[in-house]
Structure 1
Amino acid sequence: MLVRTCCNKFISAVKSSVEYRIICKKSDFTKNIYNVNRRNFNKLEARHFQFFKDILGGERMITDQEEMRSYNEEWMRCVKGISSMALKPKTTEEVSKILKFCNDNNLAVCPYGGNTGLVGGAIPVFDEIVLSAELMNEILNVDENSGVVVCQAGCILENLDNKVAEIGLMIPLDLGAKGSCHIGGNVATNAGGLKLFRYGNLHGNVLGLEVVLADGTVLDCMSSFKKDNTGYHLKNIFIGSEGTLGFITKVALQCPPRANSITLAFLGLQNFERVLRTFKKAKQDLGEILSAFEVLDTPTMEFVNERLKMNSPIGDFPYYLLIETSGSNEEHDSDKLHQFLESCMEKELVLDGTVATEPHKINAIWSIREKIPDVFKDCGYLFCYDVSLPLENYYVLVDDMTQHMGKLAKKVFGFGHMGDSNLHLQVEVDEFTREIKNHIEPFIFERTKQLNGSISAEHGMGFLKARYLNLARPYNTVKAMENLKKLFDPSGIMNPYKVLPW
């Protein structure tokens, strides 16, 4: 195979570099690994290049293959495309012209944001034109009275949060990748994150969207009202559609007040039954100030120790909880939390713990949880899964996968947003092989379904999970999705091979 020959030559040339050997070992082209058939899209011609250059100029049209590498490969290096061009528009009008031309010329398009996904949703599979939102990064308006921010889709989440913080507001979304992910990508994937338990998902916080359809039509669903019942709520169709129905260009987002007091507790527990009882008690005792409830197991903490050289601040325990409270009255919130913790200790639900109130200490403890994905790509190979499960079955899947993998896995570990039933399950192996992947899938998805769970909690379906949509949804539901795709994108140029079964 030509790809293998190229990789072997490349390895020989840079055999002193461990990083590049790992990249080659992990990153054969997606189309080869998964035996995907290219759909009947046209290939780029000189006249296509000239059209895009006339709109964007040479500096916003990337064709250099070294520069294209970052657009062709997901940060985890699990998927790899062969696109030869990335376009970087700045305005909705430019996006409209580009998509209309692509639709008229049957050219496939891959919407691209901050490249922080885990399911291959924003990376081309073949030679799709990459349409990047990275230069669409203007914050257009912040309304202090209503608490609504309006911005372009390419705004980085952390930058957006810093901006609204100037007037005492916060973005109701907090992710470990906040320093690089785009708000448009967050909306397109209906991202969840650490604070969903408190503030809800983006369907409830996005008030309006501007979207460009495949034929270049600009769909204005912008609104700054929580209540606007003028017909169908079309914006909701695009939240979580992963760029398969249109390209999001603008977002209007409701921002809650920023908390005056934040406290974080890091706790050690003996077993999952006590984790579950502690969660129920936290909801009852902490009520309106409970903003996050995260859980980690022992193998996760071992992974943190090995890869990040970070230790548990309270010693070793079978399970760990991060419980955050945020409110407006420090004395009131502190009293509630300490009463809750004292009661948990008296009932022997919690064995030990520590509480942080100073920002730098809070950040240090949160980093134990938030930095876990930062070292995923440094493993031999890590299969990452994102599921929702009934809480009574939350760790059953981890135990089942540990048993199912046996000696094939170096480590199986789970952590996640227990407050909204979202488990992140990782299977670490020495290197990727199709045999190991076939051993894991569809077992993990079938078992999730048996446990009455969802095979994708917050990362979306993307490319990697698309072929399992029929397992996750009934036939008529999948058929309705396909009909919706045909309505908005009859030629199928928008992010092909993603979400729907390929």
Structure 2
Amino acid sequence: MLNRMKMLSWPQIWIGCGSTKVQVSQILKYCNSRCLGVVPQGGNTGLVGGSVPVFDEVIVNLGSMNKVISFDEVSGILVSEAGCILESLVNFLDNKGFIMPLDLGAKGSCQIGGNVSTNAGGLRLLRYGSLHANVLGLEAVLANGDVLDMLGTLRKDNTGYDLKHLFIGSEGSLGIVTKVSILTPPKLSSVNVAFLACTDYLSCQKLFLEARRKLGEVLSAFEFLDEQAMDLALNHLEGVRNPLPTALHKFYVLIETTGSDEQSDKEKLEAFLVHSLEGGLISDGVVAQDIQQASSVWNIREGLPEALMKAGAVYKYDLSIPVEKIYDIVEEMRNKLGHSARVVAYGHLGDGNLHLNISCPQYDDAVLAQIEPFVYEWTSKNRGSISAEHGLGLMKAEKIFYSKSPAAVQLMASVKNLLDPNHILNPYKVLPQSLSFP
């Protein structure tokens, strides 16, 4: 077993895996035989410390494994190596008339292997579901160097346990993903983006329900941000302007529709907007007239993490909460903190994912003490998840019990012990140390 008490803080070793699973296998076999900790790393864009070493672990970065292996234009199934940058795959598929079912603000740096290993969510989950729904197969190297070939391309395969799901979202703690096969949807010709204002969160919630009823199959994104988030974007992002400049509204909603019939989709969206305006659900709104305007609207939403960093120190929380309760924790946090910090909220309202951010001029232990463990206790009490899409990594490993029962966590530890008995893979991540190091 790795002994964390004896680990030394010497510089980390960086290993760039040339181009084959054999190299990854040889590295893990060597490290496992000597009980050397290994940190699998992709684009290193995570927010919970899942891809960074803690002590003297070997870093295995898969960036050189960046080839597209195959693409079937009939089925839309893409097979690629794990080190492919997400944006490179987006561009590859765009030329083929397809899109990735995954879209992230970090797409210019993140890698598909890391996306799969963390079960990354993003902006398209409402329409296409999570990576558990889109990944058809994968290849992974186990801790002892064995290569597990599950690189299937079948949409239906009901033979035994579907083991690939163990590795999707395991954050490199069970094996290193080296190849992925993923189902990609066709690129549709009609895309519309609307940016709307609401007077309160209840109106945002009702608007979402109406959007599901009235827009149905063409609804592809439903994002929200509050007044504080918009103010940050306007003050800290270059070239950003408010599409609804007459006033700073309490809430903003970004709706995207994607379909195949431009006229029908526009008529459906316009009818929905007229109905919502007449019903008092929205107080103002604008529909993008071209790709440039649509990109400008999306830049506001996608630029919020950058705006927060420019504003100063930020405590970031990625929560999954029942839609009707999402903004309750924001208001309670504001009441709790008063004027000592700025509480900023935005997220994927369509799938109940709140990005709660507490912004301060500098990091302050007194502020943190008011935030934690309150934010985790509140989320647990309301049967939410303390990590909607960012994973647990190092920062939240000890917090897992707020979202999972002791029996479930113990079963996870049993799986970890079975696949990685020497605990070399991404040590100190995902599971509490009391379980990972019995």
TM-score range, shorter chain: over 0.9
Q: Name 1:397's counterpart in structure 2.
A: 329
Q: Name 2:297's counterpart in structure 1.
A: 365
CA distance in 2 between counterparts of 1:116 and 1:172 reads 19
Identical columns (%): 46
What is the TM-score of this pair, normalised by structure 1?
0.83
- Cα drift, residue 272 of structure 1: 1.0
- Cα drift, residue 408 of structure 1: 2.7
Residue 287 (1) aligns with residue 216 (2):
yes
- Cα drift, residue 441 of structure 1: 1.4
Contact between 1:41 and 1:107, CA under 8 Å: does it hold in 2? no
Q: Name 1:39's counterpart in structure 2.
A: 4
- Cα drift, residue 41 of structure 1: 6.7
Q: Name 1:101's counterpart in structure 2.
A: 30
Aligned residue among 419, 424, 429 for 1:488: 419
Runs of 4+ in 1 over 6 A off after TM superposition: none
SS in 2 for 1:395: helix
Cα deviation code 1:244-274 (max 9, x no counterpart): 0010000000001111010000001111111
Aligned residue among 253, 268, 286 for 2:197: 268
Q: Name 1:198's counterpart in structure 2.
A: 127
CA distance in 1 between counterparts of 2:364 and 2:26 reads 42
Q: Name 1:319's counterpart in structure 2.
A: 251
1:6-21 → structure 2 map (5 Å cutoff): none
1:40/1:218 Cα in 2 relative to 1: closer, same or farther (>3 Å)? farther
- Cα drift, residue 348 of structure 1: 1.4
Contact between 1:38 and 1:126, CA under 8 Å: does it hold in 2? no
- 2:312 maps to a residue whose letter is G
Q: Name 2:436's counterpart in structure 1.
A: none
Residue 216 (1) aligns with residue 155 (2):
no
Q: Which has the higher contact order (CA 8 A, sep 6+)?
A: 2
Contact between 1:213 and 1:247, CA under 8 Å: does it hold in 2? yes
Aligned residue among 439, 446, 462 for 2:393: 462
Q: Name 2:274's counterpart in structure 1.
A: 342
SS in 2 for 1:407: coil
- 1:236 maps to a residue whose letter is H
Cα deviation code 1:432-471 (max 9, x no counterpart): 2444333311110001111221111000011111111122
SS in 2 for 1:166: helix
SS in 1 for 2:71: strand
1:387/1:83 Cα in 2 relative to 1: closer, same or farther (>3 Å)? farther
Residue 333 (1) aligns with residue 298 (2):
no
Instruction: Indicate the larger mover: 99-108 or 438-447.
Output: 438-447
Q: Name 1:141's counterpart in structure 2.
A: 70
CA distance in 1 between counterparts of 2:308 and 2:139 reads 34
- 1:86 maps to a residue whose letter is W
- Cα drift, residue 300 of structure 1: 0.6
How many residues of Structure 1 are paired with residues of Structure 2 in the alignment?
Answer: 428
SS in 2 for 1:100: helix
Residue 416 (1) aligns with residue 347 (2):
yes
Contact between 2:232 and 2:308, CA under 8 Å: does it hold in 1? no
Residue 85 (1) aligns with residue 13 (2):
yes
Residue 449 (1) aligns with residue 380 (2):
yes
Contact between 1:92 and 1:249, CA under 8 Å: does it hold in 2? yes
CA distance in 2 between counterparts of 1:181 and 1:82 reads 27
- 2:47 maps to a residue whose letter is L
CA distance in 2 between counterparts of 1:154 and 1:204 reads 21
- Cα drift, residue 357 of structure 1: 3.8
- Cα drift, residue 378 of structure 1: 2.9
Contact between 1:41 and 1:108, CA under 8 Å: does it hold in 2? no
1:99-178 → structure 2 map (5 Å cutoff): 99-178=28-107
- 2:85 maps to a residue whose letter is I
What is the TM-score of this pair, normalised by structure 2?
0.95
1:306/1:190 Cα in 2 relative to 1: closer, same or farther (>3 Å)? same
Aligned residue among 254, 263, 287 for 2:183: 254
User: Any stretches of 5+ residues in structure 1 without a counterpart?
Assistant: 1-36, 44-80
RMSD: 1.5
Contact between 2:232 and 2:307, CA under 8 Å: does it hold in 1? no
- Cα drift, residue 375 of structure 1: 3.6
SS in 2 for 1:219: strand
- 1:312 maps to a residue whose letter is N
CA distance in 2 between counterparts of 1:500 and 1:390 reads 25
